[in-house]
A = this chain, B = another copy of it.
């Protein structure tokens, strides 16, 4: 019995790329130590053993819950993903990803290069049957909504694809639905299709066909096309889009927030009155910062694979990575990927049936 139990414990753990992200091993190891102390989550810390051991020594942790899995190489944030994956098969990211392939871990967390993570996952992690394209999700802050305790909307895809087939967009909706209902605990999350107009005839062939698929699906709470301004205003819990559109929209929003922050910094230096005004507002501004603080959100999921994969922001500190680890564990435990697989299988079965009837 023992080897079996040991195996199942290994299989339930989280593979953590301990070298990825701007803060490298320092942030990842601090996060793992904290999670090991405060939860029962097992973690495989993948990276250069000496660097990890050095960092581990700085933190209290439950040694039994942490295993170091050696990797001799590191993929930098600025390396070209395809070349890096090919040149560094023993990079921490590759080693961590292969733990999923080998049944040695249940989910993956990395704060490293997004492009490299998407490629590594595509290379070594099994896709859900029927899904051709993975969807990278991102969260965008919104005002509080009654039905959704989380103050953000899930936007996908934001860069794993460029253009998609209508069916891919439907599958993104399944992914978002499963994630929002199981991780954010939103009942029947609203799904919007990001478009350049609310009429169902808008946006070209792909979006028109996707609209039809989404509307016809009883599994989804589809609210129709939504426009860019509807995202930050919180009109939908899940926003479905092609990767090019989602990526540009997300970064545009980041840029506008940045512009507002720069204006604040500039105003602070301009006059005593403005400085005083900003100081009086500081608790309010802190609340905005909390609202837009990615470290609260525990990373963005890369969905479409048989196991959960969480991409933490490159700038993540220990708190953000710890949140990502907890979300990854929750996603594995609560069967997010299984629900997506079931929705896709049901759609494909109906589709085959329709095709048969059509004949």
Contacts and interface: CB of A to CB of B under 8 A. Distances in A.
Given A249-B249, A280-B274, A281-B277, A162 B196 contact: yes
A65 B338 CA distance: 71
Contact of A244 (B203, B276, B281): B203
Contact of A230 (B194, B255, B283): B255
Interface in A271-300: 273-274, 276-281, 283-284, 288
Given A163-B204, A204-B162, A280-B277, A251 B227 contact: yes
Interface of A: 80, 141-143, 159, 162-163, 194-196, 199, 203-204, 207, 227-233, 241, 243-245, 247-260, 262-263, 267, 270, 273-274, 276-281, 283-284, 288
A264 to B, nearest CB: 9
Contacts of A270: 284
B258 A229 contact: yes
A231 B244 contact: no
A273 B278 CA distance: 10
Nearest to A254: B229
Contacts of A255: 228-233, 253
A251 to B, nearest CB: 3
A337 B276 CA distance: 50
A144 to B, nearest CB: 11
Interface centre among A230, A270, A273 (most CB of B within 10 A): A273
A32 B133 CA distance: 54
A163 to B, nearest CB: 6
A174 to B, nearest CB: 22
Nearest to A242: B244
Nearest to A291: B263
A270 B159 CA distance: 39
A248 B228 contact: yes
A88 to B, nearest CB: 19
A159 to B, nearest CB: 6
Given A196-B247, A232-B252, 20 more contacts: A142-B259, A159-B196, A194-B248, A195-B244, A196-B243, A196-B244, A196-B248, A228-B248, A228-B249, A228-B251, A229-B251, A229-B252, A229-B255, A232-B255, A241-B248, A245-B245, A249-B252, A253-B253, A274-B284, A277-B281
B248 A227 contact: yes
A228 B244 contact: no
Contacts of A241: 248
A251 B244 CA distance: 16
5 contacts: A142-B259, A196-B247, A228-B249, A228-B254, A249-B252
A267 B274 CA distance: 16
Contacts of A196: 159, 162, 243-244, 247-248
Contacts of A276: 277, 280
Nearest to A281: B277
A256 B257 contact: yes
B257 A228 contact: no
A273 B277 CA distance: 9
A353 B281 CA distance: 64
Contacts of A159: 196
A281 B267 contact: yes
